[in-house]
Chains A and B, each alone.
Chain A
Amino acid sequence: DSGVTQTPKHLITATGQRVTLRCSPRSGDLSVYWYQQSLDQGLQFLIQYYNGEERAKGNILERFSAQQFPDLHSELNLSSLELGDSALYFCASSGGGREIGELFFGEGSRLTVL
C-alpha cells in the first residue's frame, strides 16, 4: 500500500461526457503528479501540483484540467471525452520541493470511453 488513494478505480462513460478523477496523496506529501497510461504504453506525464500551485505541465490536453485543494487532494477533470482518452490514469505523490524524491503511485483509475 503506497498510501496514495485514487477514486474511482474503474469508470465507464460515453464519448462527449465529462469525468472527475480524485487523488489523495500520502500523508505529508505536498506534490501530486498525474500520468496517463494507454494500453501497453508508457507513462505520459500530464501535470504536477505542489502545495496547491501548478508546478509543471506535460502533455495535457486543453480538454483536461486539474487542481489541488487546500487539503492537498487533487482532482483531474476530463471533458468532451473521446475514445482515445481510454487509459489508466495514475496519481503519484512525493515530498515535493525542487529535488524530486521517490514517487508513490496510487493504484490508478481505469477510464473506458465507449
Chain B
Amino acid sequence: QQPVQSPQAVILREGEDAVINCSSSKALYSVHWYRQKHGEAPVFLMILLKGGEQKGHEKISASFNEKKQQSSLYLTASQLSYSGTYFCGTRQKVTFGTGTKLQVIP
C-alpha cells in the first residue's frame, strides 16, 4: 500500500509556509521526498533515515517519526519555484505516496 499524503493540494502566496504530511501503514526505515514539476521528472529533495540522520536540500526541512510511521516536509518562506507536486517515498519497494500539489502564487 502506498503512503498517504496530506493535504492533496495547497495554494500559497509567496513567503508563506506549508507542511506536507506523509503517513504509512507499514514500518518506515527511511523516507524520501521528491518534487515534480509539471511534465518533468521527479527531483530528489531529501532522505530521512532511521535514527534522525537527514540528507538533502538546504532550504527545506523535514521530520521523521518512526514510531508513528509519519514524515512531514516543511516549506518555509515559499518561493514561486516551489510549485509542483511533492511525493514521499518509502524504502519498501520505493513506493511513492499519493502526492501533494503545491502552487505558490505571487
Interface residues of A (CB under 8 A from B): 2, 33, 35, 42-43, 45, 48, 56-58, 90, 99-108
A-B Cβ contacts below 8 A, count: 50
> Would you mind naming 21 contact pairs between A and B with Cβ atoms under 8 Å apart?
A2-B41, A42-B97, A42-B98, A42-B99, A45-B93, A48-B93, A48-B94, A56-B93, A57-B93, A90-B41, A90-B42, A99-B30, A99-B91, A100-B30, A100-B94, A103-B32, A103-B42, A103-B89, A105-B43, A106-B41, A107-B40
Chain A CB count within 10 A is highest, among B43, B47, B95, for B95
B95 surroundings in chain A (CB, below 8 A): 45, 58
Contact pick for B96, options A45, A48, A57, CB 8 Å:
A45
6 additional contacts (CB under 8 A) given A90-B41, A107-B41: A42-B2, A42-B87, A42-B97, A45-B93, A102-B32, A103-B34
Shortest Cβ distance from B29 into chain A, in angstroms?
8
A contact patch SS: loop
B43 surroundings in chain A (CB, below 8 A): 105
Contact pick for A45, options B40, B94, B99, CB 8 Å:
B94
Q: Digit string of B95-106 for contact with A (CB within 8 Å is 1, else 0)?
A: 111110000000
Interface residues of B (CB under 8 A from A): 2, 30, 32, 34, 40-44, 47, 55, 87, 89, 91, 93-99
A107 surroundings in chain B (CB, below 8 A): 40-41
Chain A CB count within 10 A is highest, among B40, B93, B97, for B93
Report the separation of the CA atoms of residues A58 and B90 in the bound assembly, to the nearest whole angstrom: 13
Is A102 within 8 A of B47, CB to CB?
A: yes
B2 surroundings in chain A (CB, below 8 A): 42
Shortest Cβ distance from B37 into chain A, in angstroms?
12
Is A102 within 8 A of B30, CB to CB?
A: no
